[in-house]
Amino acid sequence: MRPHDPVKQLFDRVFERHPRQDVSPNDATVVARQWVPLVDIKEEPHRFIFYVDAPGIDLKTVDVHMERGVLTIKGERKTESQESRDSFMRIERRHGTFHRRFALPSSADPHNMTVTAHHGILYVIVRKRPPSASRQIRMDEVGTHAYGRSEGDPIKPLWRPA
């Protein structure tokens, strides 16, 4: 394929091809779009761990929160100043904002999360809630103990067996 093939650029945009795939030294195409960091998710007995490939991200720009069972990770990787960008012959690393969302099971605790970074990897740890004990409800017959009331109580049950 030619280096500036518009069909190749279209396919790259449509299928969100990772920038390092099929890059040759002669390929001068650069597709401008927001970047999306790759994420690995691991479930352990007491927590979920998200490994986010995010080199060059300042933790101050990262927002992690969970609402209605959906974990949202947002951030930004800033580009170099315009003066230093002018001296580049080729730019393959993506810059800009990113936004990832992940649905989690009800065992995930939205109030027990930590975020750290080490060697370009953002670690988002979501702890699980302790398993809830099941509760057995005793069924009383309609009458003396129904609704927790005594037999002389003026409130009567709405339904009685025939």
Residue 126, pLDDT score: 96
Q: What is the pTM of this model?
A: 0.58
- Higher-confidence position of 69 and 32: 69
Q: Tell me: pLDDT of 43 over 90.
A: yes
Structure-token pair, residue 106: 């009800």
Q: Tell me: pLDDT of 20 over 60.
A: no
Q: What is the residue-averaged pLDDT of the chain?
A: 75
Residue 63, pLDDT score: 93
Whole-angstrom Cα distance, residue 44 to residue 31?
38
Residue 115, pLDDT score: 92
Q: Tell me: pLDDT of 19 over 50.
A: no
CB-based burial label for 158 (10 Å; 0-12, 13-18, 19+): exposed
Q: What is the chain's length?
A: 162
Strand partners, 140: none
What are the structural domains of the chain?
37-130 (2.60.40.790)
Its sign, for the CA torsion 151, 152, 153, 155, is positive
Band (pLDDT 50/70/90 cuts) for residue 113 is very high
Q: Tell me: pLDDT of 48 over 90.
A: yes
